[in-house]
Structure 1
Amino acid sequence: MLTTFSRRGRPLGCRSMRNVQPDLAVVLSAWQFGDPVHVAAPERGTNNWVRVVDLRDRRVVVRLYQNLDEDRVAGEHAMLAFLADRQLPFAVPTPVPTDDGRTWVTTPYGPAAVFAWIEGVRPEPVPDALTRIGTALGHLDVALAATPDTLVPYDWRRDLAATHPGAGDLATMCRELAGEGYDELLAELPAIDAACAALRDEVPVQVIHQDMGLSNVIMRGGEVAALLDFELVGIDLRVKDATGALTQTGCLDTDDVERATTFLRGYDEVVGLTETEITAIPSLLRFRAASALVWRYGRYRRGQSTRNDVIERLVAFGQTEAWLRRHGAALVASCLRPGRR
Structure 2
Amino acid sequence: MTLPAGLSMLWEQTSPDAALLERFGFTGLPDASEWLSVTLREVWGIDLHGVGRLVISDRNAIVWVRSGSGPLVVKWSCATEQFDRLAASAEILSSLAARGVPVAEPILTTERRARAVQDGPRGPLSMAVLPEVSGVWLDTADLDAVHAAGQCLARLHDALGRESGDSALQMDVGDPRARIRTWLARHDRREVPEASSRLEALLVDLPDLEDTPQLVHNDFRAANILTRGSTVAAVLDFDEVATSHRVNDLARASVYLRTRFTDWRPTSVATRESLRRGYESVRALGEAERAWLEALILWHGLMAIPFGSDPSEWAASLR
TM-score between the two structures when normalised by the length of structure 1: 0.68
Cα distance in 2 for partners of 1:95, 1:196 equals 45
| Contact residue 33 and residue 51 of structure 2 kept, 8 A | no
Q: Deviations over 1:112-149 (max 9, x none)?
A: 11111111111211211100110111111111111125
Question: Equivalent residues in 2 for 1:283-294 (5 A)?
Answer: 283-292=295-304
Cα distance in 1 for partners of 2:127, 2:170 equals 20
1:20 and 2:36 equivalent?
no
Question: Equivalent residues in 2 for 1:1-341 (5 A)?
Answer: 19-20=22-23, 22=26, 23-32=32-41, 33-41=46-54, 48-65=60-77, 69-88=82-101, 91-107=102-118, 108=123, 110-125=125-140, 126-148=142-164, 153-158=169-174, 171=185, 173=187, 182=191, 184=193, 188=197, 191=200, 195=203, 201-203=209-211, 205-250=213-258, 253=266, 257-292=269-304, 310-312=307-309, 318-322=315-319
Gaps spanning 5+ residues in structure 2: where? 1-18, 27-31, 260-264
Shift of 1:265: 0.7
Q: Between Structure 1 and Structure 2, which shows a larger proportion of strand residues?
A: 2
TM-score between the two structures when normalised by the length of structure 2: 0.72
- For 2:16, the equivalent position in structure 1 comes to none
| Contact residue 36 and residue 56 of structure 1 kept, 8 A | yes
Shift of 1:38: 3.5
Greater shift after overlay, 140-149 or 151-160? 151-160
| Contact residue 64 and residue 109 of structure 1 kept, 8 A | no
Cα distance in 1 for partners of 2:241, 2:164 equals 13
Cα distance in 1 for partners of 2:315, 2:227 equals 33
Aligned residues: 278
| Contact residue 206 and residue 291 of structure 2 kept, 8 A | no
Letter in 1 for 2:158: V
The 1:190/1:241 distance shift into structure 2, 3 A limit, reads closer
Report sequence identity in percent: 21
Shift of 1:37: 2.4
C-alpha RMSD of matched pairs (Å): 3.8
Cα distance in 2 for partners of 1:49, 1:207 equals 25
The 1:195/1:207 distance shift into structure 2, 3 A limit, reads farther
Cα distance in 2 for partners of 1:112, 1:269 equals 37
Shift of 1:189: 9.4
Shift of 1:103: 2.4
The 1:270/1:172 distance shift into structure 2, 3 A limit, reads closer
